[in-house]
């Protein structure tokens, strides 16, 4: 029994007069996702939030709980018309967060711990607007995926495989990218003064784009060989997909990138003739890659 994507949703911050909110964007993407699936919030059994950057550098409580409240997912599981509890949690691994949540979802759905899993991924500049910080690379936007079990054993996600960038491609999943911490996002306490809640520093090593592309390429090649994928008939969704229909002029997608790539792949007119499945690949800040294949039910 496979795990499939029931629906996907997105949201972008477009109102320059109000500060961006990761909770608000994640909730909007989640509601868009549920509306596309024609399901009520009570249908969600587990919510995993994977966003990294939040308004005012908020870290507690778990943002997932705030998103759950904003969406209205089983806020009172006794009084709800369909009594059920929803378990929500944050899972943070930078750009690979969505695929890490997919792996967790496979375990939860395979064991019937939940019927449906909702993944939300939202990043916003702590100061409320990415467009005002020329040194911050990410857009204020969000994505959401709703996952559930499928009766089709050939549909859904394949194995999730992780690659650590400290050695050549090998059975233990290591890839050589000249060992480094490629991207760092942190609050510089030595210079923040009284503005720490609205500041963030994101630094990338020289050659970031080249190494990201190289690591993603090596991971895709290894995954395809290991699991017998024909790359000529596989649509690869890479670390930096285009965001159709969303204004991302203020930056690039971050944790929501796999969701945007999935929606773009579905929109391609020639998809049924050329591609048998999708292959997601992400590269996290610590120079580690994650890959997972996916075959929709109606492919």
**Residue range 294-299: mean pLDDT, rounded:** 82
| pLDDT level of residue 287 (50, 70, 90 thresholds) | low
Residues 59 and 52: their CA atoms lie apart, in Å, by 9
Share of residues in the chain with pLDDT > 90 (%): 51
Tokens (6 digits) for 295: 């075959």
Which residues have CB under 8 Å from 54's CB, separation 6+?
22, 23, 63, 123, 124, 126
- The strand ranges marked E within the chain are 2-12, 46-49, 87-90, 116-123, 141-150, 156-157, 161-164, 183-186, 201-204, 234-237, 277-283, 288-295
CA–CA dist 234, 262 (Å, integer): 13
Angle at CA of residue 248, ends 191 and 253, nearest 5°: 70
Q: Which residues of 190-206 are buried (b: 16+ CB within 10 A; e: fewer)?
A: eeeeeeeebbbebebee
- Tell me the per-residue pLDDT of 124-169, one tens digit each, with 9 for 90 and over: 988 888 888 888 889 999 999 999 998 888 899 999 999 987 543 4
Averaged pLDDT, 273-289: 84
Q: Rounded CA gap, 254 and 239, in Å? A: 8
pLDDT at 50 over 90: yes
Q: List the beta bridge partners of residue 283.
A: 289
Res 271: pLDDT: 54
What's the pLDDT tens digit per position in 166-187? 543 444 454 444 444 577 787 7
Does 261 have pLDDT greater than 50?
A: yes
Query: Tell me: the pLDDT tens digits for 64-118?
Result: 999 999 999 988 877 766 657 789 999 999 899 999 999 999 999 988 888 899 9
Handedness of CA 170, 172, 174, 180 (dihedral sign): negative
User: Could you give the CA distance from residue 101 to residue 87 in angstroms, rounded to a whole number?
Assistant: 14
Whether 53 shows a pLDDT value over 60: the answer reads yes
CA separation for the pair 144, 188 (Å, rounded): 31
Q: What percent of the chain has pLDDT over 70?
A: 85
Q: Which two tokens stand for residue 56?
A: 């005012």
DSSP states along 242-281: --TTS--TT-B--TTHHHHHHHHHHH-TTHHHH-SEEEEE
pLDDT at 74: 87
Q: Provide the pairing of β-strand 183-186 with 156-157.
A: unpaired
């Amino acid at each position: 029994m496979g795990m499939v994507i029931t629906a996907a949703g997105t949201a972008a911050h477009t109102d320059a007069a109000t500060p961006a909110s990761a909770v608000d964007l994640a909730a909007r993407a989640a509601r868009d996702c549920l509306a596309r699936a024609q399901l009520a919030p009570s249908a969600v059994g587990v919510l995993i939030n994977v966003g990294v950057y939040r308004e005012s550098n908020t870290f507690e409580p778990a943002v997932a709980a705030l998103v759950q409240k904003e969406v209205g997912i089983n806020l009172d599981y006794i009084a709800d018309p369909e009594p059920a509890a929803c378990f929500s949690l944050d899972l943070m691994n930078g750009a690979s967060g969505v695929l890490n949540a997919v792996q967790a979802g496979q375990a939860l759905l395979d064991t019937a711990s939940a019927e449906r899993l909702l993944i939300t991924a939202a990043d916003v500049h702590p100061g409320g607007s990415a467009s005002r910080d020329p040194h911050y690379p990410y857009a204020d936007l969000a994505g959401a995926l709703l996952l559930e079990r499928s009766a089709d054993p050939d549909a859904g996600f394949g194995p999730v495989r992780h690659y650590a960038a400290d050695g050549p491609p090998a059975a233990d999943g290591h890839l050589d990218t000249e060992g480094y911490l490629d991207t760092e996002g942190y609050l510089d306490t030595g210079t923040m003064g009284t503005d720490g809640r609205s500041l963030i520093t994101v630094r990338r090593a020289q050659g970031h784009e080249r190494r990201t592309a190289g690591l993603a390429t090596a991971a895709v090649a290894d995954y395809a060989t290991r699991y017998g994928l024909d790359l000529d008939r596989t649509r690869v969704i890479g670390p930096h997909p285009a965001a159709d229909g969303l204004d991302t002029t203020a930056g690039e997608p971050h944790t929501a990138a796999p969701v945007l790539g999935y929606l773009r792949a579905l929109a391609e007119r020639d998809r049924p003739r050329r591609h048998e499945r999708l292959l997601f690949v992400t590269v996290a800040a610590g120079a580690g890659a994650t890959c997972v294949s996916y075959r929709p039910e109606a492919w």
